[in-house]
Structure 1
Amino acid sequence: MHRRIGVAAGAAALLLTLAGCGGGGSSGSGGGTASGTGSPAAAGGVGGGGGGSGSGAAAGAAVWSKWGLKPLPPAPAAPADRPIKLSRTGPVPVFSRVPTTQRVVFITIDDGLVKDPRFVEMERELHVPITMFLMNDAIKDDYGYFRSLQALGYSIQNHTLHHPVMSRLGLAQQRNEICGDQKILTAEYGTAPYLFRPPYGAYDRATREAVRACGPAAIVYWTDTMEITGIRYQNGRLRPGDIILAHFRGPQQLKGERMTAMFANMVKRIEEQGFTVGRLDDYISRPGQAG
């Protein structure tokens, strides 16, 4: 569904539109295959400040078992020479995976519609790294929920004010969407986002101009999309450096399942293929950052 959401669209329209988030992205849903049918039984700034923790390495087997999971392998040490290097000049780059040979993938979670306190509990216990791309219409009723996840070292990035199809807007409207979300996220979470994800994966030249003008230094796509129990792959299976797209969703969008069940299923699919989860920020050199 490619539909612009207005500020006053209302909760029902927001639920309907976000159900299709990512559906239009060529990296997110096109031609992939869904796999997996199992059911689940250090503070960082918005831009990804603190040191990353490795896929719940500190959590014991009993804690993982509580969530119906086996422990993930510890994440490898972050590379000293970060493979993605961003700049404040030149065209805004677009990437959908991280160039690495490490058997590590990266989880990104979009929108912020459903705020399940059990998911915060799950992350406090397991410490599986995530990167959040938040849209103001979805989060404005409870900014504090995402501070709880930010406090675990997970960065908050830009996903527009109202979740429109960006390529259908003019430059001025696109700047309003990106700059508006940038301003709010910076004020609420203390650090300016340095990454941007366009809703539905739709962007054009004007989007890249607006991103540059508003502050983020890159556009982030994805290679795989998490559904309720399985992952839809672009290339048939996970590969080192893949970026997985998921959403903050609940029973209404997940056919009765909670966010924690969806997340547990995703972790199972990752573990089954011999991968672990890394912290995306640890593989990116932001503008002005050494490494």
Structure 2
Amino acid sequence: MIVILSKKFFRIIIAIILVLIIIITGTILYSKKTATSTTTNYATVNRPIERGNENSNYIAIACNVDWGNEVIPEILEILEEKEVKISFFVTGRWVKAFPEMFEEIVKAGHEIGSHGYQHLDYSKLTLEQNKDQIKQTEEIIMQYSNQKPSLFAPPSGAYNEYTLITAQELGYKTILWSIDTIDWRQGSTKDVIVKRVMEKPNHHGAIVLMHPMPETAKALPALIDQLQEKSLKVGRVSDVLVD
């Protein structure tokens, strides 16, 4: 009787071990498959764009918006006077909080890009978190503009492989910059901002990053004039991406 029980017990133990081996093997294979898929996607994903076509006569201005409501009307007025259209990259939370001002930007005919829903460090976000941030912004932008954006500028230029994979899967080009006004830094006066842009050696196809800061608004007229004096057309990010 003891021998019989021992044999049955031994068979049960063997069966349990086999089941555990199958489960562990399946988990490992699935993990490898997922990792390979992610690596493959990242290897073939479009890298961030810092500059457009260097043979272009355009230079683009990208204005990232998560604050600065008191300055945006002045910027829009200057752009209208100069007959210039630029790109505004807006956060979803800003659009949700200030839909009327966002609609003014849209009505003025400027290009709208996504700046994510919140001004977070996207290099620390998971795949799902990146997707959630970009999708939320897309939905709210379309709610007030009825047009899906195709350009995405990660806050502070921070991103990881999940950011790039998500952006591409959702139909976006990830945009950075080639000339930074650094207009948010203390001491960035009108003249300093203009100098930071104009002292760069190559403006053709460049993307100039700015924000709705008071000194930026003061610098904008002179900046547009000086760039146009170099036979450059000041425009949107999509203008410099044309081959």
Flag whether TM exceeds 0.5 (same fold). yes
Residues 166 and 199 of structure 1 are in contact (CA less than 8 Å); yes or no, is this contact kept in structure 2?
A: yes
> 1:91 & 1:235 partners in 2: Cα distance?
33
Task: Determine the structure 2 residue equivalent to 1:49.
Answer: none
**1:105 offset after TM fit, Å?**
0.7
Q: 1:275 aligns with which of 222, 232, 235?
A: 232
Task: Determine the structure 2 residue equivalent to 1:246.
Answer: 210
Task: Determine the structure 2 residue equivalent to 1:107.
Answer: 61
Task: Determine the structure 1 residue equivalent to 2:51.
Answer: 97
> 2:238 & 2:200 partners in 1: Cα distance?
26
Q: 1:141 aligns with which of 97, 110, 113?
A: 97
**1:265 offset after TM fit, Å?**
4.1
Please tell me whether residue 220 in structure 1 is matched to residue 175 in structure 2: yes
Please tell me whether residue 156 in structure 1 is matched to residue 112 in structure 2: yes
Structure 1 residues 272, 283: closer, same or farther in 2, change over 3 A? Answer: closer
Opposite residue 95 of structure 1, the aligned amino acid is: I
Q: Secondary structure at the match of 1:97?
A: coil
Residues 166 and 174 of structure 1 are in contact (CA less than 8 Å); yes or no, is this contact kept in structure 2?
A: yes
> 2:163 & 2:180 partners in 1: Cα distance?
23
Task: Indicate the percent of aligned positions where both proteins have the same amino acid.
Answer: 22
Q: 1:197 aligns with which of 136, 153, 157?
A: 153
Task: Determine the structure 2 residue equivalent to 1:77.
Answer: none
Opposite residue 219 of structure 1, the aligned amino acid is: T
> 2:120 & 2:64 partners in 1: Cα distance?
14
> 1:123 & 1:130 partners in 2: Cα distance?
8
Q: Secondary structure at the match of 1:95?
A: coil
> 1:112 & 1:200 partners in 2: Cα distance?
12
Q: Which protein has the bigger helix share?
A: 2
**How large is the Cα RMSD of the aligned pairs?**
2.5
Gaps of 5+ in 1: 1-89, 251-256, 286-290
**1:223 offset after TM fit, Å?**
0.5
How many residues are paired up?
189
Structure 1 residues 177, 141: closer, same or farther in 2, change over 3 A? Answer: same
- Please, what TM-score do these two structures have when normalized by structure 1? 0.58
Q: Deviations over 1:3-61 (max 9, x none)?
A: xxxxxxxxxxxxxxxxxxxxxxxxxxxxxxxxxxxxxxxxxxxxxxxxxxxxxxxxxxx
Please tell me whether residue 266 in structure 1 is matched to residue 223 in structure 2: yes
> 2:103 & 2:110 partners in 1: Cα distance?
9
Residues 223 and 234 of structure 1 are in contact (CA less than 8 Å); yes or no, is this contact kept in structure 2?
A: no
Residues 127 and 152 of structure 1 are in contact (CA less than 8 Å); yes or no, is this contact kept in structure 2?
A: no
> 1:153 & 1:132 partners in 2: Cα distance?
11
**1:112 offset after TM fit, Å?**
4.0
Structure 1 residues 282, 276: closer, same or farther in 2, change over 3 A? Answer: closer
Bigger Cα Rg? 2
Residues 92 and 211 of structure 1 are in contact (CA less than 8 Å); yes or no, is this contact kept in structure 2?
A: no
**1:224 offset after TM fit, Å?**
0.4
**1:268 offset after TM fit, Å?**
4.4
Gaps of 5+ in 2: 1-43, 184-188
Aligned pairs for 1:17-32 within 5 A: none
Structure 1 residues 281, 103: closer, same or farther in 2, change over 3 A? Answer: closer
**1:284 offset after TM fit, Å?**
4.3
Structure 1 residues 241, 147: closer, same or farther in 2, change over 3 A? Answer: same
Task: Determine the structure 2 residue equivalent to 1:181.
Answer: 137
Residues 59 and 240 of structure 2 are in contact (CA less than 8 Å); yes or no, is this contact kept in structure 1?
A: no
Please tell me whether residue 165 in structure 1 is matched to residue 129 in structure 2: no
**1:282 offset after TM fit, Å?**
3.8
